[in-house]
């Protein structure tokens, strides 16, 4: 049986297969003394304040990627909308392969080109609570990709895919080859599965190479006739690697952060603190523990550290959500209490709440407009839509503020009824009912519940 992980390039270059001493997973490296797989939490980030400064803009990184694959026989195609209207199992496009599932991957419809290359805007909200906290989580990102659909005839498979990645990363992006780690794994998503390599550099995963040849039915892998190369290179992550900033947000939103600090009397980030804190957070989950240790190492008051991190968590979150909203609203989502509309409304309201933690003088529409000015060269299709996007956000803001004003009396009455019945936990059913009938966010219910000593589980 074919071993997908044994590729020709590894033999030619002298890569060795190792087993991580921490997680037990297998990986390939040119460094025979490498003991760990390089994937957090097994290894912490070593690129922070230690970048590989090949390119200075995301536009240049993207263009270099697409041009590389065009030179190697791929056809560049336009990106798909972020709203997955051709699918009934998801609302939003979460990876470039979503563009082709299930019709192309199942061989029902021919791909738009074969092989092809694309830079696909993606939205994932599964880790929304980590945005701004970990330094790496985003709700929106661009997945640069190349795909080959081996349906009927073989275009290319694992050997070529790994060779493409190696040449792109070392020759185009100038990453030292001895710093590349290919970690073995298994990928599942959208009804398909396949073995994969996670490509890691200095602790950061920059790409995933999936060899999709299974269909998943009832959590079982069923071999397909089709073999599909599904790759994803994180544009923002590669840019982060090349800037070495404490967080991915500092790389992406450098100009916007400067604008905020300059115009709204916001204290600039403490770089020494952030460099150390977010390196430690790459391998740990206990933020309070990391705060305490970092405070001791740097001789800083822990309350100061907490205030600084809390302020920038809010700034990073607002900037991230604002960029995501441009694509959601620009591709036709209308805020509502259901479906994709609920997700857009969720982001708007989260942004408004976090803005209050930063400064009451900042308008969300101004943040969104400023972010668009930095991406409009590659996404000119939104230029004529920006007025509508900003109008929607402003309308949602007014609606939200009005709802907040009215909701306190409603929730307080419900909480008093809970107290009379000696109930200490607010039911999820009641929480859902309140949101669906009145649009009151769970966070507000929880805040009011604290006043009545009632636990609201979200």
Are 426 and 391 contained in the same domain?
A: no
Q: Say if residue 126 is in the same domain as residue 216.
A: yes
Q: Are 172 and 277 within one domain? A: no
Q: Give the contacts of 56 (CB within 8 A, at least 6 positions apart).
A: 242
- CATH code at position 215: 3.30.930.10
User: With 90 as the cut, is the pLDDT of residue 1 above it?
Assistant: no
Q: Is residue 247 in a domain? A: no
Phi, psi torsion values for 273, nearest 5 degrees: -65, -50
Among 176, 207, 242, the domain boundary falls at 242
The verdict on residue 218 lying in a domain is yes
Q: Return left, alpha or beta for 202; rule: phi > 0 is left, psi -120 to 50 is alpha, else beta.
A: left
Please count the structural domains in the chain: 3
Mean pLDDT within 52-71: 98
The two tokens of residue 109 are 């419809």
SS3 94: coil
- Domain identity same for 216 and 265: no
The pLDDT value recorded for residue 285 is 82
Do 95 and 226 have their domain in common? yes
> Do 27 and 154 belong together in one domain?
yes
Instruction: Give the per-residue pLDDT at 12.
Output: 98
Output the six-digit token pair for 274.
């952030």
Confidence of residue 437 (pLDDT cuts 50, 70, 90): confident
* 2 is a domain residue: no
Q: How confident is the model at residue 403 (pLDDT cuts 50, 70, 90)?
A: confident
pLDDT tens readout for residues 154-207: 999 999 999 999 999 999 999 999 999 999 999 998 889 999 999 999 999 999
| In a shared domain, residues 264 and 224 | no
If pLDDT is split at 50, 70 and 90, which confidence band does 435 have? confident
Q: What is the percent of the chain with per-residue pLDDT over 90, rounded to a whole number? A: 83
Of the ranges 150-154, 171-175, 276-280, 282-286, which one carries the lowest mean pLDDT score?
Answer: 282-286
Token code pair at residue 292 = 């305490």
Q: Provide the 10 A C-beta neighbour count for residue 193.
A: 22
pLDDT band of residue 438 (cuts 50, 70, 90) is confident
Do 278 and 45 meet the contact criterion of CB atoms below 8 Å apart?
yes
Instruction: Report pLDDT digits (tens) over 351-388.
Output: 999 998 999 999 999 999 999 999 999 999 999 999 99
pLDDT band at 218 (very low <50, low <70, confident <90, very high): confident
Question: Does residue 408 register a pLDDT over 60?
Answer: yes
Work out the mean pLDDT of the chain and round it to a whole number: 95
Mean pLDDT of 291-309: 96
Identify whether 300 is part of a domain: yes
Supply the pLDDT for residue 377.
94
367 is in which domain, residue-wise?
A: 253-401
- Tell which of 401, 422, 439 closes a domain: 401
Asked if 221 and 338 sit in the same domain, the reply is: no
Output the pLDDT for position 383.
96
Q: Is the confidence at residue 214, as pLDDT, over 70?
A: yes
pLDDT of residue 333: 97
pLDDT band at 440 (very low <50, low <70, confident <90, very high): confident
Is residue 244 very low, low, confident or very high in pLDDT (cuts 50, 70, 90)?
very high
Q: Are residues 435 and 378 in the same domain?
A: no
């Amino acid at each position: 049986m074919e071993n997908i992980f044994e590729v020709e390039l590894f033999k030619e270059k002298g890569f060795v297969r190792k087993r991580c001493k921490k997680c037990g997973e297998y990986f390939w490296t040119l460094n025979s003394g490498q003991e760990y797989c390089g994937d957090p939490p097994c290894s912490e980030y070593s690129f922070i304040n230690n970048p590989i400064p090949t390119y200075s803009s995301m536009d240049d990184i993207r263009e270099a990627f697409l041009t590389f694959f065009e030179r190697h026989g791929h056809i560049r195609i336009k990106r798909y909308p972020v709203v997955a209207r051709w699918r009934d199992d998801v609302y939003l496009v979460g990876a470039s392969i979503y563009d082709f599932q299930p019709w192309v991957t199942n061989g029902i419809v021919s791909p738009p080109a074969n092989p092809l290359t694309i830079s696909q805007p993606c939205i994932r909200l599964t880790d929304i609570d980590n945005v701004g906290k970990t330094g790496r989580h985003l709700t929106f990102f661009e997945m640069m990709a190349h795909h080959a659909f081996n349906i009927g005839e073989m275009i290319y498979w694992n050997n070529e895919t790994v060779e493409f990645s190696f040449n792109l990363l070392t020759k185009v992006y100038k990453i030292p080859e001895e710093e590349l780690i290919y970690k073995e794994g298994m990928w599942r998503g959208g009804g398909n599965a396949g073995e994969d390599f996670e490509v890691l550099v200095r602790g950061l995963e920059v790409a995933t190479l999936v060899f999709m040849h299974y269909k998943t039915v009832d959590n079982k892998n069923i071999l397909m006739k089709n073999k599909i190369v599904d790759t994803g290179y994180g544009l923002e992550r590669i840019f982060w690697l090349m800037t070495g900033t404490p967080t991915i947000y500092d790389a992406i939103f450098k100009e916007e952060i400067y604008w905020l600090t300059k115009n709204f009397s916001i204290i600039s980030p403490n770089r020494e603190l952030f460099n150390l804190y977010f390196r430690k957070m790459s391998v740990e989950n206990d933020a309070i523990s990391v705060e305490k240790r970092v405070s001791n190492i740097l001789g800083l008051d822990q309350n100061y550290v907490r205030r600084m991190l809390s302020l920038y968590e809010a700034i990073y979150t607002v900037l991230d959500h604002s960029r995501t909203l441009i694509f959601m609203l620009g591709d036709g989502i209308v805020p509502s209490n259901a479906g994709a509309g609920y997700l857009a409304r969720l982001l708007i309201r989260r942004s408004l709440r976090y803005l209050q933690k930063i400064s009451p003088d900042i308008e969300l529409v101004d943040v969104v407009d400023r972010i668009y000015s930095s991406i409009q060269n590659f996404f000119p299709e939104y230029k004529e839509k920006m007025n509508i996007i900003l109008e929607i956000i402003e309308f949602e803001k007014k609606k939200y503020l009005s709802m907040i004003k009215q909701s306190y009396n409603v929730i307080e009455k419900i909480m008093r009824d809970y107290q009379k019945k000696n109930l200490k936990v607010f039911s999820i059913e009641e929480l859902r009912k309140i949101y669906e009938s009145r649009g009151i966010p769970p966070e507000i219910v929880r805040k009011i519940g604290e006043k009545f000593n009632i636990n609201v589980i979200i």
